[in-house]
Structure 1
Amino acid sequence: MKLADYLMDWRNVTQFQDRPVARELVLEVLNDAVWAPNHGLREPWRFVYVDQEGMQAMRQLQQPSPAHLLIIAKEDEDPHRRDEDLAAVCCLVANFELLAREKRLGTRRSMPDWIYDPELRKRFGIRPNERIAVVLDLGHIDPAADGTPAAADRISLELL
């Protein structure tokens, strides 16, 4: 499949298999995903992996899934670097989602309101100079019911 075809087929997974997601698989995907561009060659990210053992804290916060990955962005005091770093984190998220899909690991991306709650941030070990950029729900894609919604039509773009 060409990358362009793959991008057109890429959506949040809505249904996962009911089996654990190995921490090693997530690390394998992350180790490739971190090759995200950053002009300053910084690595402005950190990750919190929540599997079945730590799931109690997530049950009331997120839709059910076998695992969750909190992608944390470091917040530099310099606004230009902070924006550059957040852009790099967004690229890392896209890399992760594409690489995970290749391994039949589905993702569902969300930015729920609770990521701004100081008590919940503290519970997940989020430091004062960090923010939760995105929460990825993770699970193996069910081959019987792919779990992805149908593609939506896109508007053709024009350059001005």
Structure 2
Amino acid sequence: MCYSARPVSENHILELLNVAVWAPNDGMREPWRFIFIGSGNTDMLSELQDQASAYLILVIKEDHDPHKIEEDYGAASCLMQNFRLLAQESMLHVRMTMNDWIYDRACTRRFGVHDDERIVAVLEMGYHEQSMEPVKVESTPDLTFELL
């Protein structure tokens, strides 16, 4: 993916997250935290991820209760989907990744992930190099359904 040189603002990401955290979860625990890697620091991930303008690492607490582990992962997944939809409105492209390095404790510690936490996903973010043209009504096919 080719991103433009336009930086991704940390404040913009915080604004999106403040809305996205209304993801459904049991007890409204918010078991997550975020590590933002923005302009000037993206080289930290250059060997591990595709090149992006910014990254958001989503981390959740590891629990000993298997039921809570599943609930926390489900809540984090809802949060990511909310974030992606909100970002799309502002033309910010977000790609969720789960590369092998997120399971390597030695590697994750470099980014401030504690022993009682795990990375759920890394969101690669950036603005598209070229503006995308919206689909025009006159160029879309007229679809019809046939009843059987």
Q: Could you tell me the TM-score, scaled by structure 1's length?
A: 0.78
Q: CA deviation at 1:120?
A: 1.2
Say yes or no: does 1:70 pair with 2:74: no
* Correspondent of 1:92 among 75, 79, 84: 79
Q: Which structure has the bigger radius of gyration? A: 2
* Alignment match, 2:143: none
Q: How many angstroms apart in 2 are the aligned matches of 1:46 and 1:77?
A: 18
Q: How many angstroms apart in 2 are the aligned matches of 1:33 and 1:96?
A: 5
Q: CA RMSD in A?
A: 1.4
Which ranges of structure 1 fall in alignment gaps of 5 or more residues? 1-13, 147-160
Q: CA deviation at 1:108?
A: 1.2
Q: CA deviation at 1:85?
A: 0.8
Q: Where do 4+ consecutive residues of structure 1 move more than 6 Å? A: none
Say yes or no: does 1:82 pair with 2:69: yes
Identity, in percent, stands at 44
Q: How many angstroms apart in 2 are the aligned matches of 1:91 and 1:16?
A: 25
Which ranges of structure 2 fall in alignment gaps of 5 or more residues? 134-148
Q: Could you tell me the TM-score, scaled by structure 2's length?
A: 0.84
Q: CA deviation at 1:83?
A: 0.9
Residues 139-160 of structure 1: per-residue CA shift (max 9 Å, x gap): 11344357xxxxxxxxxxxxxx
Question: Which structure carries more relative contact order (alpha carbon 8 Å, separation 6+)?
Answer: 1
* Alignment match, 2:38: 51
* Alignment match, 1:105: 92
Q: How many angstroms apart in 1 are the aligned matches of 2:12 and 2:130?
A: 18
Query: How many residue pairs were aligned?
Result: 133
Q: Secondary structure at the match of 1:36?
A: coil
Say yes or no: does 1:19 pair with 2:10: no
Residues 34-83 of structure 1: per-residue CA shift (max 9 Å, x gap): 00001222101000001123222111111111101101111122111111
Q: How many angstroms apart in 2 are the aligned matches of 1:73 and 1:27?
A: 18
